[in-house]
Amino acid sequence: MKKFSQLDLPQTSAVFDMAVIGGGATGLGVALDASLRGLSVVLFESNDFASGTSSRSTKLLHGGVRYLAQGNVSLVREALAERKTVMHIAPHLAQPLAFVMPAYSCWEKMTYGAGLKVYDLLAGQQGLGHTKVLNRNETQAALPGVRAEHLNGGVLYWDGQFDDARLALTLARSAQDAGAKVFNHCRVQAITPINDQTEHDPSNQDSKPLRAPNPARFSLQVEDVFSGDTREVKARCVVNAAGVWVDGIRHMAGTESTRRIVSPSQGVHIVVARALLPTDHALLVPKTDDGRVLFAVPWLGSTILGTTDTPREDAPHEPLPFEHEVEFILSQSSKILSRPVTRQDVKSVWVGLRPLVTPEKSNGGTKTISREHTIVVDESGLITVTGGKWTTYRVMADDVMKAAVSHGLIKNNVPCATSTMRLHGAPQSQSISITQSPGEHLFGTDIERIRLIEGFDQPIGMGLNEAMVRFSAREEFTVTVEDMLARRWRALFLDAKQALSMAPRVAAILESETGLDPKLDNFELLCHQYQLAR
Ligand code: FAD
**Mutation to probe ligand 1, out of 9, 42, 54, 383 (largest number of atoms < 8 A from CB):** 54
pLDDT at 201 over 60: no
Distance CA 43, CA 240 (A): 10
| Cα→Cα distances 200→17, 209, 234, 247, 378, Å | 21, 5, 18, 36, 28
Question: For residue 290, which of 322, 335, 321, 323 has the smallest C-alpha distance?
Answer: 335
Contact 46 CB / ligand 1 (< 6 Å):
yes
pLDDT at 367 over 50: no
Is residue 292 very low, low, confident or very high in pLDDT (cuts 50, 70, 90)?
A: confident
Kindly report the three-state secondary structure assignment for every residue of 155-208. Answer: EEEEEEEECHHHHHHHHHHHHHHCCCEEECCEEEEEEEECCCCEECCCCCCCCC
The string of pLDDT tens digits covering residues 170-190 is 999 999 999 999 999 999 999
Residue 354 CA to ligand 1 center (angstroms) comes to 7
Distance CA 518, CA 504 (A): 10
- pLDDT confidence of residue 207: 55
* Residue 41, SS3 per DSSP: strand
Taking CA atoms only, the protein residue closest to ligand 1 atom 24 is 390
Contact 389 CB / ligand 1 (< 6 Å):
yes
Tell me the helices (H) and strands (E) count for the chain, helix number first. Answer: 15, 22
CB 441 within 8 A of CB 463: no
Residue 243 CA to ligand 1 center (angstroms) comes to 5
Q: For the chain, how many residues are written?
A: 534
pLDDT at 368 over 50: no
State the chain's maximal CA–CA distance in angstroms.
Answer: 90
Residue 306 CA to ligand 1 center (angstroms) comes to 17
CB 317 within 8 A of CB 52: yes
Contact 355 CB / ligand 1 (< 6 Å):
yes
Distance CA 249, CA 42 (A): 17
**Mutation to probe ligand 1, out of 320, 384, 389 (largest number of atoms < 8 A from CB):** 389
pLDDT at 204 over 80: no
- According to DSSP, the β-strands at 310-311 and 302-306 are unpaired
- pLDDT confidence of residue 14: 73
Is residue 8 very low, low, confident or very high in pLDDT (cuts 50, 70, 90)?
A: low
pLDDT at 70 over 80: no
If you average pLDDT over residues 81-88, what whole number do you get? 95
CB 146 within 8 A of CB 140: yes
Contact 51 CB / ligand 1 (< 6 Å):
yes
* Residue 219, SS3 per DSSP: strand
Q: Does the N-terminal peptide bond of residue 307 adopt cis geometry, omega within 30 degrees of 0?
A: yes
Question: For residue 476, which of 23, 18, 81 has the smallest C-alpha distance?
Answer: 23
Contact 242 CB / ligand 1 (< 6 Å):
yes
pLDDT at 99 over 90: yes
User: Based on C-alpha coordinates, what's the Rg of the chain?
Assistant: 24
Kindly report the three-state secondary structure assignment for every residue of 438-483. Answer: CCHHHHHHHHHHHCCCCCCCCEEECCEEHHHHHHHHHHCCCCCHHH
pLDDT at 83 over 50: yes
Distance CA 174, CA 276 (A): 38
Q: Which position has the higher pLDDT, 392 or 13?
A: 392
Taking CA atoms only, the protein residue closest to ligand 1 atom 53 is 243
> Phi and psi of 356, rounded to 5°?
-85, 140
| CA dihedral of residues 194, 198, 199, 205 (deg, nearest 10) | -110
Question: For residue 178, which of 29, 52, 9, 49 has the smallest C-alpha distance?
Answer: 29
Q: Within a 10 A sphere around the Cβ of 258, how many other Cβ atoms?
A: 7
- pLDDT confidence of residue 65: 76
Contact 63 CB / ligand 1 (< 6 Å):
no
If you average pLDDT over residues 466-477, what whole number do you get? 98
Contact 371 CB / ligand 1 (< 6 Å):
no
Q: What is the mean pLDDT of the chain?
A: 90
**Closest-lying ligand 1 atom to the alpha carbon of residue 60:** 28
The alpha carbon of residue 189 and the mean position of all alpha carbons in its chain are separated, in whole angstroms, by 23
The string of pLDDT tens digits covering residues 421-457 is 999 999 887 655 565 667 888 999 999 999 999 999 9
Contact 29 CB / ligand 1 (< 6 Å):
no
Is residue 72 very low, low, confident or very high in pLDDT (cuts 50, 70, 90)?
A: confident
Distance CA 357, CA 372 (A): 8
Residue 25 CA to ligand 1 center (angstroms) comes to 6
CB 303 within 8 A of CB 277: yes
- The H or E element containing residue 378 is none
CB 250 within 8 A of CB 262: no
Is residue 222 very low, low, confident or very high in pLDDT (cuts 50, 70, 90)?
A: very high
- pLDDT confidence of residue 135: 96
Contact 388 CB / ligand 1 (< 6 Å):
yes
**Mutation to probe ligand 1, out of 53, 270, 307, 376 (largest number of atoms < 8 A from CB):** 53
Distance CA 230, CA 233 (A): 10
